[in-house]
Amino acid sequence: MTKLRPVCILGNGLIGGSLMRDLAAHNHPTFGYTHSNAGARQAAADGFDVIVDLEAVLRRAEDLGALIVIAVPFDVVAEMLDAIAQWAPSCGITDVVSVKAPVYALVHERGMLERYVGGHPMAGTEASGWAASQTGLFARAAWVVTYDYAVECSEGSERLPQEWADLFADVCRMVALVGAEAVPVSAEAHDEAVARVSHLPHVMAEALSIVGDHGYTLAQSLAAGSFKGATRVAGTQPSLVRNMCETNAEPLVKVLDEYIDLLVRAREGLASENPTMEWLAESGYRAHVRMNARSGARRESVSPVAISSRPVMRVHPGGPGWVKQLKQIESLGGRVEVF
């Protein structure tokens, strides 16, 4: 396996911080930037190289030929890209932002597509900040890696630079190093899928918290597993939830409409003379069984080791037909291993 370049992480919250901890745990060179003096002090106290001087961090990244990971909220991404253009003009870039088409658009506007591979680890907790960061957060998680630029080149007249293929490979190597599984997905397909399985659950958690709270202390006292499971992510900082949902508004509105339609249909059944929820309960159970059969890791009956349930394909970035292979993997929700 070719050696992964040093990793420069911009932002040291839950995701950026956890990535840094995992890379360091594997003795991989990593350093980073945070906008917050307190955050830099905390990271330094834990033995990490994180400073508040963005120019210095990026100049160092340029000197080292580092892979830059943008791990800040969406509303600061444009600022980071501009800084990278100025101080680290030849570095490869990836990100961990929870929407992909809007980030792609910002990169495109700046003419930086040739050195950008989008990313999004499907892992996290309701906590945020460096204090919440931890090693092992990404174990067995899907880590979306986008490849829209490669598709555009393969469909258009432009030749895909080998540097881009190398960058794609390096992002996959970083993902593998922290125990996650690289899942190639186009930006648009990603944004709709996460609207379904991540942003909608966040919206639901906020709304359910409010409905529970309207039941006052008695409802608080009686809330148990089903309520806690469905509201846990409402403990996420509201600004982060807004960032996710508002930047992915179009796909989210689409799946919200699907969801509201299902609820209205259930409501009609329950409000009828002979209340029934047969359709929703039966369909929901079948859907749950199908989803569960494939999502995440599972244990083999005889082995204590959890194995991935995602199909795997070995791919050589830049090799013949590799973009077609990525499309195939995407259609299966599978993972890619690079060689």
Q: Which of the residues 274 through 313 are near a copy of itself (CB under 8 A)?
A: 275-278, 280-285, 287-292, 294-296, 310
Distance from C-alpha of 296 to C-alpha of 331, rounded to nearest angstrom:
16
Contact pattern for a copy of itself over residues 58 through 77, marking x by CB under 8 A? --------------------
What minimum distance in Å lies between the beta carbon of 271 and a copy of itself? 5
Residue nearer to a copy of itself on the CB measure, 6 or 237? 237
- Residues 320-339 interacting with a copy of itself (rule: CB under 8 A): 330-334
Residue 216 within binding range of a copy of itself, rule CB under 8 A: yes
Give the binding-site size for a copy of itself (rule: CB under 8 A). 103
What minimum distance in Å lies between the beta carbon of 298 and a copy of itself? 12
* Helix residue spans in 195-321 (DSSP H): 200-213, 216-222, 225-231, 238-247, 249-271, 278-294
What minimum distance in Å lies between the beta carbon of 38 and a copy of itself? 22
Residue nearer to a copy of itself on the CB measure, 26 or 254? 254
Residue 159 within binding range of a copy of itself, rule CB under 8 A: no
Residue 232 within binding range of a copy of itself, rule CB under 8 A: yes
- Residues 126-155 interacting with a copy of itself (rule: CB under 8 A): 141-142, 144
Residue nearer to a copy of itself on the CB measure, 44 or 105? 105
Coil, strand or helix at 30: strand
In terms of Cα–Cα distance, which of 101, 71, 81 is closest to 7? 71
Integer distance in angstroms from the first to the last C-alpha of the chain? Answer: 7
Residue nearer to a copy of itself on the CB measure, 55 or 257? 257
Q: Is the dihedral of CA 7, 13, 19, 25 positive or negative?
A: positive
The conformation of residue 99, written as its DSSP 8-state character, comes to -
Contacts of 237 (CB under 8 A, 6+ apart): 128
Instruction: Supply 67's token pair.
Output: 């892979």
Distance from C-alpha of 275 to C-alpha of 200, rounded to nearest angstrom:
27
What minimum distance in Å lies between the beta carbon of 314 and a copy of itself? 18
Rg (CA), the chain: 21
Stretch touching a copy of itself by CB under 8 A, among 12-20, 45-53, 168-176, 250-258: 250-258
Cα-Cα-Cα-Cα torsion 314, 317, 319, 325, nearest 10 degrees, comes to: 50
Residue nearer to a copy of itself on the CB measure, 108 or 242? 242
Distance of CA 187 to the CA centre of its chain: 12
Contact pattern for a copy of itself over residues 165 through 204, marking x by CB under 8 A? ------------------x-x---xx-xxx-xxx-xxxxx
CA atoms within 13 A on the CB side of 226: 3
- Residues 90-129 interacting with a copy of itself (rule: CB under 8 A): 122-125
Residue nearer to a copy of itself on the CB measure, 112 or 266? 266
